[in-house]
């Protein structure tokens, strides 16, 4: 008998996509008032200030040292490599569209690596869905006319950011365990702060324009984009197949463009809407039962 999936897991993809996609436009607003690594350092410091007392009040159980290591690896890949290098790419002049189209290669990269790393296979229909999703994402980006000649340093940062989010996704699937979300998030953001704070102090002007717009943007990045979105992402990775979860990222450029319309005044042309529909169809193919057939489960991460 097939167990019904809990409601929160059914709603998680839509909630995650909305929170994650809006974060691109909000982050663009934030970096207008402070340097990129300074924004990240401040975000992680605020998160530690929120989660630290909460962990003490709730008496949250922390994982073993080996578990801490695994959570820290995922935190470094996502919080430092992915976010840090994406922000540096923006600062160096890479367009939002350029970053989006490179990051949208993640599902293809995951599908290529997953069979060996986490024991998941993807069917022909799944590959078709991945291809359609990539094509739809490209239509959204090119339809907005946002792809320009990128500088080599910024492009290198974007590619390395892609490797960071891909590696973090696969490592979480292979070695992740059911740690308490407060403990896992606290470890990840502590790793982010450990790297981003000294880098921001060494490489950037740490001054911040504390305008109401910046405060609102930081509140969103801390509460919605960091706490809720990342928690949902890791929960979906542990509950479902990693290729299906990664396919959700194909919808991010389209939804980011949609949010950029009211927040940044960047209207999306008809070609972009067509791309959004094509990307959604591709994600549906991958997400349907049978798009990525189950394979032998990866062995659980050893615990000390």
Residue pLDDT, tens place only, 48-88: 999 999 999 999 998 888 889 999 999 999 899 998 998 88
* pLDDT on residue 181: 80
- Check if the beta carbon of residue 185 is closer than 8 Å to that of residue 14: no
- pLDDT recorded at residue 145: 61
Q: What is the pTM of this model?
A: 0.75
Radius of gyration from C-alpha coordinates of the chain: 19
**Which of the residues in the chain have pLDDT under 70?**
1-5, 95-98, 107-108, 111, 114-122, 141, 144-151, 176-177, 240-247, 286-304
Task: Note the pLDDT of residue 52.
Answer: 93
List CB contacts of 96: < 8 A, sequence separation 6 or more: 24, 28, 90, 146, 256, 260
pLDDT at 224: 92
Looking at residue 252, its pLDDT comes to 78
CA 304 – CA 293 distance, rounded (Å): 32
In this predicted structure, what is the pLDDT of residue 299?
27
- Are the C-beta atoms of residues 120 and 241 closer than 8 Å to each other? yes
Q: Looking at residue 155, what is its pLDDT?
A: 78
Structure tokens at 206: 């740490």
């Amino acid at each position: 008998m097939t167990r019904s999936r809990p409601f929160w897991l059914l709603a998680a993809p839509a909630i995650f996509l909305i929170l994650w996609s809006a974060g691109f436009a909000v982050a663009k607003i934030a970096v207008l008032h402070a340097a990129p690594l300074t924004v990240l350092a401040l975000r992680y410091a605020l998160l530690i200030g929120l989660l630290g007392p909460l962990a003490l009040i709730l008496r949250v159980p922390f994982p073993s040292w080996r578990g801490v290591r695994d959570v820290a690896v995922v935190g470094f890949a996502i919080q430092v490599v992915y976010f840090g290098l994406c922000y540096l790419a923006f600062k160096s002049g890479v367009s939002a569209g350029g970053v989006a189209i490179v990051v949208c290669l993640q599902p293809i990269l995951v599908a290529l690596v997953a069979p060996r790393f986490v024991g998941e296979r993807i069917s022909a229909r799944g590959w078709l869905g991945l291809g359609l999703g990539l094509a739809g994402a490209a239509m959204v980006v090119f339809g907005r006319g946002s792809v320009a000649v990128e500088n080599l340093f910024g492009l290198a940062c974007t590619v390395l950011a892609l490797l960071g989010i891909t590696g973090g996704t696969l490592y979480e699937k292979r070695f992740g365990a059911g740690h308490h979300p407060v403990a896992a998030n606290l470890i990840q953001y502590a790793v982010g702060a450990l790297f981003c704070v000294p880098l921001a102090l060494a490489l950037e002007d740490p001054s911040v324009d504390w305008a109401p717009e910046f405060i609102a943007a930081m509140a969103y990045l801390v509460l919605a984009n960091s706490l809720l979105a990342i928690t949902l992402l890791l929960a979906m990775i542990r509950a479902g197949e990693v290729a299906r979860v990664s396919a959700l990222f194909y919808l991010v450029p389209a939804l980011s463009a949609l949010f950029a319309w009211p927040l940044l005044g960047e209207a999306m042309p008809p070609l972009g809407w067509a791309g959004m529909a094509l990307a959604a169809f591709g994600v549906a193919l991958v997400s349907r039962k049978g798009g990525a057939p189950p394979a032998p489960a990866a062995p659980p991460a050893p615990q000390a």
